[in-house]
Amino acid sequence: MVDVTIVVPILNEKDNIRPLYHSLKKALDQAGFRWEIVFVDDNSQDGTLQEMRGLISEIKDHSVKLIQRIHRFGLSSACVEGIMASHAPFIVVMDVDGQHDETQIPIMYHTIQKKNLDAIVGSRYCDTGSLGELDPHRAFISKTATYLARKIGKVTLTDPMSGFFMIRRSTLESLIARLYSKGFKILLDILLASPSPLKYEEIAYTMRARKFGESKLNSRVILDYLMLLAYHRTHRWIPLDFVLYLFVGCTGAIFHLCVLRIFLQYGSSFIRAQFAATLIAILCNFYLNNKITFFYFRLKGLRVWSGLGTFILVCSIGLAVNLACADYIYKTTSVWWISGGFGFLISGIWNYLCSKTIVWRAKT
Ligand code: GDD
Ligand code: MN
């Protein structure tokens, strides 16, 4: 039995593994803890896995474990899997890159027990906490996201974006099925998923500079963050992936109308203009879905072309289904907008399901 499990999500971090292991070992041994570290990797391609296996084979005990995930992505879901595969009554989540202050863990452990808290959160904004040398651009994103979490998510802590916290296992297990589990913000997800406010406290720390490699934060992470807020604010019932797909579909429809208008204005026949507009709308939808909706399964290189071919085929069948349904409903109800809207929705569902399972399925 261990007192504390440290869950560390990792993606392409080969140079950071050993420094983190040694600094954690020092801090946890000094505190007299029985501990384990669970690294959760999303099939890194930079030698991280070899580095991990090398480290594990050198250690004589079972204090370090590795979960290697295939076709699954994202910091939050990696943390959830690491937590579910571990045993300690208290869990710490932290970055591998040395940015989080491991010397705070013993204080966190004693405080969470003494005050019977659900969680204790490392904060860069309370008391003596600071963003350290974080570049101004990142600091701005962090502060804006914090503002939104407090305004929209109605959370009260100073640093809901923190990636460094300790949580009681029993608390987490009671709300695990309510988590969104996508994206970067696992702490905020936990706070918003809880039906009653969690009992927490914050502990100040100064964020250090990343030791090696680079941050995995990208523009998709920002979209994931907004989707996380929307998911919990709508009481977890909206299928957000489908909404995103429909949103992309509507963008395609706007493109379609613009291109149609331009072609007609320059004297093209209607059928040619409609053909060009349809083609451009499909290309636009394919591009945006590849960039946004199915970002984690995005197609690259030659696979783009075979994916585009399949997407065109899928959309053509969707269009035929759309026309057949809309025509049938129009003949029965004579209400144009119900018939048109229903046809659009049916083809949207068809296109979405085929896109997800055929066009952007996990690589095999
Ligand atoms: N398994 C897995 N899968 N790990 C990932 C993934 C992923 O898709 N993306 C990132 N990681 C790992 C990184 O290897 C790192 O250990 C940790 O998750 C955080 O990623 P960073 O790239 O270091 O993010 P950051 O430093 O820009 O932001 C972090 O710190 C902020 C401040 O505490 C994150 O933890 C943020 O959530 C946090 O707000
Ligand atoms: Mn980091």
Please give the domain boundaries of the chain with CATH numbers for all domains. Answer: 4-233 (3.90.550.10), 240-359 (no CATH)
What pTM, to 2 d.p., does this model score? Answer: 0.88
In this structure, which residue's CA is closest to atom 29 in ligand 1? 163
Q: Please report which confidence band the pLDDT of residue 146 belongs to, taking 50, 70 and 90 as the band edges.
A: very high
Please tell me if the CB atom of residue 78 comes closer than 6 angstroms to any atom of ligand 1: yes
Atom of ligand 1 nearest to the CA of 184: 37
Q: Please report which confidence band the pLDDT of residue 60 belongs to, taking 50, 70 and 90 as the band edges.
A: confident
- Secondary structure class of 168 (helix, strand, coil): strand
In this structure, which residue's CA is closest to atom 21 in ligand 1? 215
- Secondary structure class of 42 (helix, strand, coil): coil
**Averaging pLDDT over each range in 76-90, 219-233, 271-285, which range is the top one?**
76-90
Average pLDDT over residues 117-135: 91
- Closest Cα to residue 179, out of 90, 113, 84? 84
Express each pLDDT in 87-108 by its tens digit.
Answer: 899 999 999 999 999 999 999 9
Count Cβ neighbours within 10 Å for each residue of 258-286 and write b for 16 or more, e otherwise. ebbeebeeeebeeeebbebbbebbbebbb
Q: How far apart are CA 207 and CA 133, in angstroms?
A: 8
Residue 209 carries which DSSP code? Answer: P
Asked if the model's pLDDT at residue 164 lies above 70, the reply is yes
Atom of ligand 1 nearest to the CA of 187: 37
Q: Please report which confidence band the pLDDT of residue 219 belongs to, taking 50, 70 and 90 as the band edges.
A: confident
Instruction: State residue 323 phi and psi, 5-degree precision.
Output: -65, -45
Cα(184) to centroid of ligand 1, in Å? 7
Q: Write down the pLDDT at residue 213.
A: 93
Please tell me if the CB atom of residue 183 comes closer than 6 angstroms to any atom of ligand 1: no
Please tell me if the CB atom of residue 246 comes closer than 6 angstroms to any atom of ligand 1: no
Q: Write out the two tokens for 264.
A: 């007609």
Express each pLDDT in 195-215 by its tens digit.
Answer: 999 999 999 999 999 999 999
Asked if the model's pLDDT at residue 289 lies above 90, the reply is yes
CB 203 within 8 A of CB 122: yes
Q: Write out the two tokens for 112.
A: 């969470």
Structure-model confidence comparison of residues 220 and 104, the more confident one: 104
Q: How many CA atoms lie within 13 A of 359 on its CB side?
A: 27
Q: Write down the pLDDT at residue 294.
A: 92
Q: How far apart are CA 319 and CA 314, in angstroms?
A: 9
- Secondary structure class of 78 (helix, strand, coil): helix
Q: Write out the two tokens for 42.
A: 């999303």
Asked if the model's pLDDT at residue 364 lies above 70, the reply is no
In this structure, which residue's CA is closest to atom 8 in ligand 1? 74
Q: How far apart are CA 28 and CA 25, in angstroms?
A: 5
Average pLDDT over residues 280-284: 92
Instruction: State residue 121 phi and psi, 5-degree precision.
Output: -115, 130
Average pLDDT over residues 128-142: 88
Average pLDDT over residues 288-292: 93
Q: Identify which ligand lies nearest to the alpha carbon of 163.
A: 1
Asked if the model's pLDDT at residue 363 lies above 80, the reply is no
